[in-house]
Amino acid sequence: MSERAAPFHCPYCGDEDLRPNEQGHGAWECAACSRAFQLKFLGLLSRGLRRQDSGGDEI
Ligand SMILES: [Zn+2]
């Protein structure tokens, strides 16, 4: 199973004109600013994300 993370916006200029880069997995290039970047999955957080504003969900 090869799940790809697709960015919706360029992290540099915010444009949505992204296309896969030939570098390989997770590599994208932005047609607006001509930047190429790579997304990398680092792993799951051990404790997950917790919203500070919700409060009350103590385990
Ligand atoms: Zn861009």
Distances in Å between the alpha carbon of 56 and those of 19, 50, 59? 42, 11, 9
pLDDT attached to residue 15: 97
Confirm whether 49 is domain-assigned.
no
**26 Cα: distance to centroid of ligand 1 (angstroms):** 15
Domain count, the chain: 1
Domain that residue 11 falls in: 1-39
Q: Which two tokens stand for residue 32?
A: 């607006």
**58 Cα: distance to centroid of ligand 1 (angstroms):** 40
pLDDT attached to residue 53: 63
Residues 16-55 have pLDDT tens digits of: 999 999 988 889 999 999 999 998 888 998 886 676 665 5
**54 Cα: distance to centroid of ligand 1 (angstroms):** 34
pLDDT attached to residue 1: 45
Contact 35, 29 (CB under 8 A): yes
Higher-confidence residue: 37 or 59? 37
Cβ neighbours around 21 below 10 Å, total = 15
Confirm whether 34 is domain-assigned.
yes
